[in-house]
Structure 1
Amino acid sequence: MVQAQSASPAGGADGEGTEEQYVYRLGIYGWRKRSLYLLVILLLSILVINFALTVWILRVTCLNTEGMGQLRIRAGRVRLDGVSEFLFPLFAQEIGSKQETSLLVHSETHNVSIKSINRRGGVSSSLTLGPQSIDITGKRFEVMSNTGTSLFSAGPEHCVVGVGKLTVTGEDGAECDHSIETPLVRAEGSKHLSLEAPTRSLYMDAPKGVHINAESGSTKALSNTDISLLSTDGVLVLDAEWVRLPRLPLSGQAEGTGQDEEQPLYEVCVCPDGRLYTSEAGLTSTCHDYSGKC
């Protein structure tokens, strides 16, 4: 803005020598000045709001030099305290809990899957905990004790129980489609032991012998056809106070036994093919006389 001013000389009043002077005022006035102040106030307000929001976020998330919230980032590991929720897959080399605390993996609506990925990106083994089943996929499954001892292992070729004793508590026992290799089969105290083959044959084989022992009960062998006891190199031992064969066929009667008819005596005879039969005992052996039973 430019403003003109006039000044009169000190020596006269006739108007001669009058000199005009111009005064220049520099600055912003009017609506421009008010707009500038309003813009500065708006910028300061935005700065204060941003600073307050930053402080609030830091307080809420507990962001510090070690991490954020319950998350602690340390050398070689990440530590999470409390309950953590993952919305997407978690990739980690090892997952563990603190000392004297348990590790809980929970899924509210879906299953829990743990997978091992090989270098090609394929799944080498997996563990899936579903709502109705547990699925394990891998070349070999093994259960270890805290001392490193193998308790149970399963693979494509065989299944091994590494503990000293395997107990089956089901009322129907255990059903196996193939053979079982074990040094001892025993029932619990005050219970019966039963080995059955409902539609096929039952075989018991051992390189150094098969021992059948009932300490406080009896032993029964029932078959629809034949029962074979075979020893390739050794003898067949029946060690008992009484050995009864009640259904052996009887061949003829011996004369001159000199025994009471109410209490006859019988002789057990063996055929060349191994079959057994009985004949009434006489003064001498009667097996040859009644060998026609063979």
Structure 2
Amino acid sequence: MAGEQYLTATEGTHIERPENQCVYKIGIYGWRKRCLYLLVLLLLIILVVNLALTIWILKVMWFSPTGMGHLHVTKDGLRLEGESEFLFPLYAKEIHSRVFISDMIIKIDSSLLLQSTQNVTVNARNSDGEVTGRLKVGPQMVEVQSQQFQINSREGKSLFTVDEEEVVVGTDRLRVTGPEGALFEHSVETPLVTADPFQDLRLESPTRSLSMDAPRGVHIEAHAGEVEALSQMDIVLHSTDGTLVLDAETVCLPKLLQGTQAASGSSQGLYEICVCPDGKLYLSVAGAGTTCQEHSHICL
């Protein structure tokens, strides 16, 4: 643009202006302007793509004001519906199945299922991070690592307790249903051993001796059957302070040694029972007086 000269109407003043005054353009023109527009367009495209991806992630993950998908945040904690898979350890104070409140009563309407392709392990740790208790459910064995293992009833009664010293069964009756019975490698202390109705009770030690001891006596009773004691060696009935009573209508000792009857004897098949100093019993032919001395050689 060509410069113009202006003259003031005021007399006595004269202002000179340069004849070749240049006017500079302000702004971005040319290739810089095109690059700027291209950069703004690229940023706008990235913004739209990010917004679309955010909306897609929110839709895929099922985000809502109450949680994410089947995971809902409540005032009592987290509520998870359906089946879920945890790839890393899960730390929680309490885990229980779905509950609902009906008439101010909390009820459980579904079971809690924990499953794994390998094993399920539940650990209890102290404040130092050390494992104090462990429950491991594997494909072949269930392992419990703790100082004491206890099973309680719904009322809180101890049913089964195991520790390093003893095993306590707190039920009124312990039933063993295996066909081979129960095997005890050491002593067993119990007030009563009984069989099911119409079943035989058998106490057996295949390779060693069987001993039953009680401070106030051992009572063996069969209401509708026989009591039979078999042994490869000796059967010893011992009473420390008292007597041995065989209370029955008939007591049979069929295999006692029998003394020789005299040819002219008139015992009419009657015998008397003799006792050796070591407690051995034998039969002697009955006579007018005792005949045990005549067969005392049996005690030798």
Confirm or deny a common fold (TM above 0.5): yes
Which of 277, 281, 286 is the matching residue for 2:286? 281
C-alpha separation in 2, matches of 1:77 and 1:237: 72
The answer as to 2:71 corresponding to 1:71 is yes
Match of 1:247 in 2: 255
C-alpha separation in 1, matches of 2:291 and 2:138: 74
Post-superposition offset of 1:180: 0.6
Match of 1:12 in 2: none
User: Within 5 A, what are the aligned runs for 1:17-28?
Assistant: 25-28=25-28
Preserved contact between residue 128 and residue 134 of structure 1 (Cα < 8 Å): yes
Post-superposition offset of 1:22: 6.4
Match of 1:114 in 2: 122
Which amino acid in the other structure matches residue 78 of structure 2? V
Match of 2:48 in 1: 48
Match of 2:242 in 1: 234
- Name which of structure 1's ranges 67-76 and 221-230 shifts more when overlaid on structure 2: 67-76
The answer as to 2:180 corresponding to 1:160 is no
C-alpha separation in 2, matches of 1:100 and 1:283: 89
C-alpha separation in 2, matches of 1:290 and 1:81: 92
Match of 1:220 in 2: 228
Preserved contact between residue 114 and residue 128 of structure 1 (Cα < 8 Å): yes
1:26-68 deviations in whole A, cap 9, x for unaligned? Answer: 4433333333333222222222222222222222222234332
- Name which of structure 1's ranges 184-193 and 139-148 shifts more when overlaid on structure 2: 184-193
How many aligned residue pairs are there? 276
C-alpha separation in 2, matches of 1:244 and 1:189: 27
Q: Alpha carbons of 1:100 and 1:76: their partners in 2 closer, same or farther (altered >3 Å)?
A: closer
Post-superposition offset of 1:248: 1.0
Match of 2:276 in 1: 271
The answer as to 2:109 corresponding to 1:100 is yes
Post-superposition offset of 1:119: 2.8
Which amino acid in the other structure matches residue 216 of structure 1? A
C-alpha separation in 2, matches of 1:244 and 1:201: 24
Paired residue secondary structure (1:4): coil
Which amino acid in the other structure matches residue 114 of structure 2? V
List runs of 5+ in structure 1 lacking aligned partners: 8-18
The two structures have a TM-score, normalised by structure 2, of 0.81
Match of 1:10 in 2: none
Post-superposition offset of 1:205: 1.0
1:80-118 deviations in whole A, cap 9, x for unaligned? Answer: 22112111122223222121211111112x221112222
Preserved contact between residue 267 and residue 286 of structure 2 (Cα < 8 Å): no
C-alpha separation in 1, matches of 2:247 and 2:109: 57
Post-superposition offset of 1:76: 5.5
Preserved contact between residue 257 and residue 283 of structure 1 (Cα < 8 Å): no
The answer as to 2:157 corresponding to 1:149 is yes
C-alpha separation in 1, matches of 2:187 and 2:69: 58
Asked which structure has the greater RCO (Cα within 8 Å, sep 6+), the reply is: 1
C-alpha separation in 2, matches of 1:178 and 1:238: 30
- Name which of structure 1's ranges 150-159 and 113-122 shifts more when overlaid on structure 2: 113-122
Q: State the superposition RMSD in angstroms.
A: 2.6
Match of 1:128 in 2: 136
C-alpha separation in 1, matches of 2:247 and 2:58: 86
1:221-276 deviations in whole A, cap 9, x for unaligned? Answer: 112221111122333222333221111111233665363xxxx2222223343321
Which amino acid in the other structure matches residue 181 of structure 1? E
Which amino acid in the other structure matches residue 107 of structure 1? S
C-alpha separation in 2, matches of 1:57 and 1:258: 113
C-alpha separation in 1, matches of 2:90 and 2:224: 59
Which of 257, 270, 290 is the matching residue for 2:266? 257
Which amino acid in the other structure matches residue 267 of structure 1? E
Paired residue secondary structure (2:283): strand
The answer as to 2:218 corresponding to 1:210 is yes
The two structures have a TM-score, normalised by structure 1, of 0.82
Preserved contact between residue 261 and residue 285 of structure 2 (Cα < 8 Å): yes
